[in-house]
Structure 1
Amino acid sequence: MTVLTPELLARIRSRAAGYDRDNAFFTEDLDELRDAGYLKPRSLLETARDQRLLAAYAPATALAINMHLVWVGVARVLADRGDDSLQWLLDEASAGELFAFGNSEQGNDLVLWDSLTTVDTVDGGYAFTGTKIFTSLSPAWTRLGIFGKHRGPDGDRLIHGFITRETPGWHANDDWDTLGMRATQSTSTVLEGAVVPLDRVARILPVGPNADPFIFGIFSNFLLLVGSVYAGIADRALELAVEAVKKRSSLKTGLTYDKDPDFRWRIADAALALDALAPQLESLARDVDELADHGASWFRYLTGAKHRATETARYVVDQAMRSAGGGGYRNAAELSRLQRDVLAGIYHPSDTESVHSTVAANLLGAL
């Protein structure tokens, strides 16, 4: 059963505009969600449903919390498949620790298949040097997952591991001033020899595409939870569109716009597009939970689900803006914020080009 009570959600929505206006971190939301037990491990299906609901009330809060929930999901995927190497992560998440992602790098379009961050062997672990971008939860994380490339005599390897906030050798830049999703405070993280101890190394993998369960866990949780957040934005946009046309009226006909055939068609078309998302996102989340085997098609299905969710959300928000009229264009309007927030969907991996490449390779083979 969800911990997202109507009262909690109402408080979270009441703060969203202020966080956005002030470019401020969602501290109060995070405290309430942690106290409610929202950060603890659950099934991916339950998490996806709740993230969609939360995003309809505060998109940036939901998107930032996603990063913690993805790491929890990765550990759960491994545990469900008999690998307890990240059991410590599940235990610490249950105890209240907050996990974040330090993987994205400017100019790295290979995402998890290679890294611009360098890794050196040191006593007791590995030292990481490089800059990570889009580190959501930057002001508050207590555990940060990072990866980088180690060059050794037996070939290059990608080292995945975790540092704590107390680990020396890192700092966050104050560089988050974006069009939307402002409350995530996804600042850049500079690693200057930050050491991941050996007992916090999650994986050592070869450079290039890899179907290791750890990588599958990242892709499956990240793509489906991101898709769920943007579906939630679309849910709220459709609600606002319905409210708007019932209030607006035509001087020409004297009727409210909910009686206008063109606006009725516009809103119906947005709803038809949105209705297709839940079966896709939820069936795949259930498949991850139930250890379904889609073989080589997994990445096609996962990247496709995220792509359809973010593109559909952009379409629905656009239709809502058209339905709301000029009032939706004011900064004070919630739809205006949703329009800015939904645009962030095009920047999350996997991007449109990568998605089409993945699908083509699945159907036609690699180039």
Structure 2
Amino acid sequence: MLTKWVFTERQASLIEKAERIKETAYAHAEEADENASFPDEVMDKIKEEQYPSLPLIQNLGGENITLYEFLLMQEKIAEGDGSVALSIGWHMGVMMELRDERPWQEERLDRLMKEVAGEQKVLNRIASEPATGSPTRGGMPETTARREENSYILTGRKTFASLADHLDYYLVSSYVEDIDTIGWFLIPKQTAGVSVEKTWDTLGMRGTESDDLLMKDVTLPVDALVETKSSKPPVPKGWLLHIPACYLGIAVGARNEAVEFAKNFQPNSLDTPISEVPHIQDKIGTMEWKLLQAHSFLYDTARKWDEYPERRNEWAEELGAVKLAVTNAAQEVVDLAMRITGGRGLSRRQPFEKYYRDVRAGLHNPPMDDAVISMLARNV
């Protein structure tokens, strides 16, 4: 799909970087899916390409990537393995948020960014919990932070901790008792009392390594509390479009494989490959127009986000609508790919059943379809 587009020299260079990560991800996708873990080789490639530091400004060693550029790269990586794109996308998005909103004390933020630039360190916000479900639903964390003189003591369990064993830092939400609010603590991976429990055993997106993060009486300095919940209305987060970009990439990968299958599969009942059969061409054409619509909506929204920063507070509804539209279109495209391949698409020796399992996860990433539709209805 993207090969039909016209790119600037900079965009083409960034896509080439993503293409190299995609190739490594694709080579290890079966292993990641089988083991429900993120392969070391893929993380090594991500850091070799200096991908984690791309959101940083140039003065700190990054490329100050735009949302549009970010989504181009994420979609490309997802063609190789959606799990890789989604999991590293959380780090990239958090770094873009920190770069643009500057919610921490400058000295602490600059120190982290220098580590990301110099050592390609990776972090993720870890917020979900067994009792609260998705943090977007507004549940109060059961993880607690108790103040003791010049320290905080954290105890709790987090779920869906993507890249759990490969993160250098955990950015963990907690109820902070002494100030009676939700706060975020930056915790180095090797901190005493922090451990990962291998709980990730899902149908799809198995390679995200989204295991449980356990904290038992973790002692942290006071300055580890880097953020507290703001009383201001939440700012829309454009970087969350990495979610639909990921599932769109999965759909493109499935479309590409389905077309190759159709061009090369010729049962002995036909004189031509099945790509010449009218109902197969109908399915391919339907996949194409769904992808064209999804690409247009996603990237037009990203372009507006980049070009009109002063209007970003107006676009919460559109961001949610993009996620809803693109992830559902991706489901439909992968389903059509499975219909083209028929029973052979169910074989573990074929890539289609993995696309089918992975793309389903898009319905369960925030924002959820019902929340988006309800928001749109209220605003109308």
Task: Determine whether 1:30 maps to 2:43.
Answer: yes
Q: In the alignment, which residue of structure 1 is the partner of 2:162?
A: 136
Q: In the alignment, which residue of structure 1 is the partner of 2:7?
A: none
- 1:225 shift after superposition: 0.7
Moved more, 134-143 or 14-23: 14-23
Distance 1:344 1:164, change over 3 A: same
Q: In the alignment, which residue of structure 1 is the partner of 2:145?
A: 119
Q: In the alignment, which residue of structure 2 is the partner of 1:13?
A: 26
Q: In the alignment, which residue of structure 1 is the partner of 2:321?
A: 304
- 1:271 shift after superposition: 1.4
Distance 1:339 1:94 in 2: 36
Moved more, 116-125 or 268-277: 116-125
Distance 2:349 2:100 in 1: 41
Q: Percent identity?
A: 25
Distance 1:123 1:291, change over 3 A: farther
- 1:20 shift after superposition: 1.4
TM-score for both structures, normalised by structure 1: 0.87
Q: Matched residue of 1:188: which SS?
A: strand
Counterpart residue type for residue 83 of structure 2? A
Aligned residues: 353
Q: In the alignment, which residue of structure 1 is the partner of 2:112?
A: 89
Task: Determine whether 1:211 maps to 2:233.
Answer: yes
Q: In the alignment, which residue of structure 1 is the partner of 2:125?
A: 101
Q: After superposition, where does 1:103-252 map in structure 2 within 5 Å?
A: 103-109=127-133, 111-112=135-136, 113=138, 114-151=140-177, 156-205=180-229, 211-213=233-235, 216=236, 219-221=237-239, 223-249=240-266
Kept in 2, the 8 Å contact 1:75–1:87? The answer is no
Kept in 1, the 8 Å contact 2:145–2:175? The answer is yes
Distance 1:20 1:311, change over 3 A: same
Distance 1:240 1:135 in 2: 31
Structure 2 unmatched runs, 5+: 1-12, 56-64
Kept in 2, the 8 Å contact 1:310–1:345? The answer is yes
Distance 1:14 1:66 in 2: 19
TM-score for both structures, normalised by structure 2: 0.84
Distance 1:226 1:5, change over 3 A: closer
- 1:239 shift after superposition: 0.5
Distance 1:46 1:123 in 2: 45
Distance 1:231 1:88 in 2: 35
- 1:7 shift after superposition: 5.3
Distance 1:235 1:161, change over 3 A: same
Moved more, 101-110 or 231-240: 101-110
Distance 2:347 2:353 in 1: 6
Counterpart residue type for residue 17 of structure 1? E
Kept in 2, the 8 Å contact 1:237–1:317? The answer is yes
Distance 1:319 1:192, change over 3 A: same
Q: In the alignment, which residue of structure 1 is the partner of 2:97?
A: 74
Distance 1:6 1:260, change over 3 A: same
RMSD: 2.5
